[in-house]
Amino acid sequence: MRIGITCYPTYGGSGVVATELGIELAAAGHEIHFISYSQPFRLSGRDDGIFYHEVPVSSYPLFEFPPYDLALASRMAEVAELYNLDLLHVHYAIPHSVSALLARQMLAARGSRLPFVTTLHGTDITLVGLDRSYLPITRFSIQESDGVTSISNYLREKTIADFGITRPIDVIPNFVNCDVYTPILDKEKRATSRLRLARPDEAILIHLSNFRPVKRVVDVVKVFAKVTKSVPAQLVLVGDGPDRSAAEWLAHDLGIHERVHFLGKQERINELLALADLMLLPSALESFGLAALEAMACKVPAIATRVGGIPEVIDDGVTGLLYPIGDVEAMAAGAIDLLTTPGKLEAMRDAARKTARTHFCSTKIVPQYVHYYESVLAGTN
Ligand code: GMT
């Protein structure tokens, strides 16, 4: 198949899923065309079968807000025609599904068919999409999509309830490449690599996000401050965003800044995750929690919140621990218990990897997308 993919190219879960999907589909022999305002950050630019088409957005003194959604629709239609695309797959409804709808209409007027699939990821439904200025058009473009998928049951139910969507929505969960996101089996190699971040007797806790308010990064530092009073440990924070400075100041004010490492945006996240003992993910909401899944595949269980789709990924007490939002006391107690009770963390590490492998490997999930595309093209979805 020749598939056009549109996503936000920046640091964010929906862009990660879209990019990894494109890479997997290309490896399976499909031709993938990314259409976005810049190259998705996980694309190397050298992958066979993957093409990138930039969307130029011209400015003009009259435009206070240059209309990206229109430029995107034009480029989608153009790329579809030039490269004979079979379908478009857009990730994150706003504004991508609206642009895809326009592109489909433009091509229909020229006698060509361009069905599009919208994948709902999270804040497009739970936050931004609910804003009155976006809700009617988001609802319309979801309803009019040729196929709609959601990354968790939670998000599917939420979309139906809050947007009154009546067309079918299929759940295709997020996935991870279990050969790339994998534990370091060689004990000596792992121990040597960990020395870059911690002493041999110290635990490594990790957080990975875009540091938006919904991630509650300040809670990460608060939990760690309590853990480090009982257990020798280092905290590694990967990513960047609006709440980074608040977290940096808190680490400083609590006098733990020498044990808290803000690494910023990193490329080989799999290698960092594999060095950690535990992930901290105290988000106010996650429709799925891709970061937790990536950690689990590396044998790193997460201390997380019982919100949104997280319970669909983490089995509380078996593959991680779940707590109410903001309960830093309990999260710290859970982490300390895991790190100090002999055998407990090891059992959870094994269970986390097993769940990732059994339910969420790309080898299992990507064929579901291919099957879904086929049903959209056949009009049977
Ligand atoms: O707001 C974000 O966290 C980014 C957002 C995105 O779409 O880029 O992430 C959402 O999609 C991810 C990939 O499907 C999910 O793993 C995240 O749980 C989800 N974030 C939220 O629901 C807050």
**What is the whole-number distance in angstroms between the Cα of residue 122 and the centre of ligand 1?**
5
| Residue 321 near residue 334 (C-beta atoms within 8 A) | yes
Reply yes or no on whether the pLDDT at 44 is more than 80.
no
Strand bridging mode 233-238 / 320-323: unpaired
Percent share of the chain, pLDDT over 70: 99
Nearest residue by C-alpha to atom 1 in ligand 1: 123
Give residue 40 CA to ligand 1 midpoint distance, Å: 16
**Nearest atom in ligand 1 to 214's CA:** 23
Pick the atom of ligand 1 nearest to 15's CA. Answer: 8
From ligand 1's centre to the CA of 252, what distance in Å? 29
Residue 362, pLDDT > 90, answer yes
The pLDDT value given to residue 43: 84
57-76 pLDDT, tens digit each: 998 889 999 999 999 999 99
Q: Report the alpha-carbon distance of residue 76 to residue 104 in Å, rounded.
A: 9
Q: CA 224, CA 339: separation in Å to the nearest integer?
A: 13
How many angstroms is it from 12 CA to the middle of ligand 1? 7
- pTM comes to 0.95
- State the first-to-last Cα distance of the chain, in angstroms, to the nearest integer: 17
With beta carbons less than 8 A apart as the criterion, state whether 259 and 235 touch: yes
Lining ligand 1 with CB less than 6 A are: 12-15, 17, 92, 121-123, 126, 151, 174, 210, 212, 214, 285-290
Q: Which atom from ligand 1 is nearest to the alpha carbon of 293? A: 16
Residue 41 is predicted with a pLDDT of 80
Percent of the chain with pLDDT over 90: 91
Cβ burial of 98 (10 Å; 0-12, 13-18, 19+) is buried
338 within 8 A of 300, measured Cβ to Cβ? no
Residue with token string 């810049």:
38
Q: Which two tokens stand for residue 372?
A: 């879904």
What are 246-257's pLDDT values in tens digits? Answer: 999 999 999 999
pLDDT at 173 over 80: yes
Instruction: Evaluate if residue 33 carries a pLDDT over 80.
Output: yes
Ligand 1 atom closest to 12 (CA): 8
Burial of 64 (0-12, 13-18, 19+ CB in 10 A): exposed
What is the band of 127 on the pLDDT scale with cuts at 50, 70, 90? confident
Distance of CA 10 to the CA centre of its chain: 11
> In angstroms, how far is CA 160 from the centroid of its own chain?
22
Domains annotated for the chain, with CATH where assigned, are 2-175+362-378 (3.40.50.2000), 187-359 (3.40.50.2000)
- Specify the residue with its C-alpha closest to ligand 1, atom 19: 122
